[in-house]
Amino acid sequence: MTLNNTIEIDIVKASSSKIASVDFENLTFGNIFSDHMLICDFKDDAWQKPIIKPYEPFLIDPSAKVFHYGQAIFEGMKAYKDDNEDVWLFRPDENFKRFNKSAKRMAMPEVPENVFMEGLKMVVDLDREWVKKGLGNTLYLRPFMIATGHGVIAQPSNEYRFMIILSPAKSYYSGEVKVIIAEHYSRAANGGIGAAKAAGNYSAQFYPTKLANEKGYQQIIWTDDATHTKLEEAGTMNVFIRINDTLYTAPTSERILDGVTRKSLIELAQRDGLSVEVRSVLVEELVNAAKDGSLKEIFGAGTAAVVSPIVAFAYQGTEYQLPKIENSFALKLKEDLTKIQYKLAEDTFGWTVKV
């Protein structure tokens, strides 16, 4: 089967759908997967023919490089259904570019654009019934690549597997989010892989986040590895800070992921005439702003959560509460963004792509 005469993809349809067994009103994020998945293998220095087949486990050699040297990258995306039953992707070109940026950094082969983009559209189209209408309902899309070549010698793999799996989703975070500002642990370092969506970045966060959870905090605001004085990211999200009526977010770097939601919120804020500054914010600035009342909002931004307001932060044993405000930049930007994603507002940026 071909799509727009750009790439041939084999399709093996599931004999029956499991969609009827899914409670879409009570989903645990990333725990249920749709009927189909895409697989494309890289071997003999070339990408092979992609296939879409029923979602199922697969065999892999115990000596596969992914297990021993961590060559694994991924992206997070969503599909949305509008009131006319049409399904849309949001800025998939940005995810594609970032995926291959990650691949290059991890010494993995870049995925061809037609495999990524047309394969993504085709598998989403095949499972379009898994995309439910209504604000908050999405189909979370997880393109990823792992090293499948065997052998435990410390060198890049010679074989890889690119896959796309799909998971129906609602809101990622629920309830109030409180954070601790990192004083010792780091998410990433200069010269490292912080700007790549590499699996190891996330596993390295688990232990310090566990320590934060034990103290009653849901996430960590990461600081720079050298001095721990600059605010960088919030958990697995980019972070925004509003002091008075100016919105601040850290510039992207080798340590900070170039978030698609982050850049979209910046463009929306600028369109709406909000004051936005892309620069490093010092921990000292944040604490002083909390003390003098000029700190209005902190929020995380990412594909899974979209926008996640933070109600309090802790630093050096002191907790600072965020004020409850009526003219929330976070909620306004989230509303503006989701309206575009669900086609409830005109997409003047050209961000949405119909499946």
Token pair, residue 11, equals 């399709």
Length of the chain: 355
d(CA 300, CA 176): 12
Report the relative pairing of strands 295-302 and 237-243 from DSSP bridges.
Answer: antiparallel
Q: What is the reported pLDDT for 348?
A: 96
d(CA 209, CA 215): 10
Given a contact cutoff of 8 angstroms between Cβ atoms, the answer to whether 268 and 333 are in contact is yes
Is the four-CA dihedral 142, 143, 149, 155 of positive or negative sign? negative
pLDDT at residue 3 greater than cutoff 60: no
Taking phi over 0 as left and psi of -120 to 50 as alpha, with beta for the rest, 152 belongs to alpha
Q: What is the reported pLDDT for 174?
A: 62
**Look-up of token digits 């003047």:** 348
Tell me the pLDDT tens digit for each residue of 323-343: 999 999 999 999 999 999 999
* DSSP secondary structure, 100-126, as one string: HHHHHHTT-PPPPHHHHHHHHHHHHHH
Mean of the pLDDT values across residues 210-214? 97
* Cα R_g (the chain), whole angstroms: 21
**What H or E segment, with its residue span, contains residue 206?**
helix 199-214
Helix axis angle for 113-126 and 92-105, nearest 10°, is 130
Tell me the pLDDT tens digit for each residue of 114-149: 999 999 999 999 999 999 999 999 999 999 999 999
pLDDT at residue 39 greater than cutoff 80: yes
Which residue, among 106, 100, 169, 166, has the nearest Cα to 132 in the 3D structure? 169
Tell me the pLDDT tens digit for each residue of 261-313: 999 999 999 999 999 999 999 999 999 999 999 999 999 999 988 899 999 99
3-state secondary structure of 21: helix
Q: What is the reported pLDDT for 2?
A: 35
d(CA 73, CA 199): 6
d(CA 190, CA 255): 6
Which residues, 6 or more positions from 267, have their beta carbon under 8 angstroms from its beta carbon? Answer: 349
pLDDT at residue 4 greater than cutoff 70: no
Given a contact cutoff of 8 angstroms between Cβ atoms, the answer to whether 256 and 240 are in contact is no
pLDDT at residue 172 greater than cutoff 70: no
Angle at 106 between CA 105 and CA 108, to 5 degrees: 110
Instruction: Indicate whether this model's pTM tops 0.85.
Output: yes
CA-based max dimension of the chain: 63
pLDDT at residue 5 greater than cutoff 90: no
The DSSP call for residue 218 is S
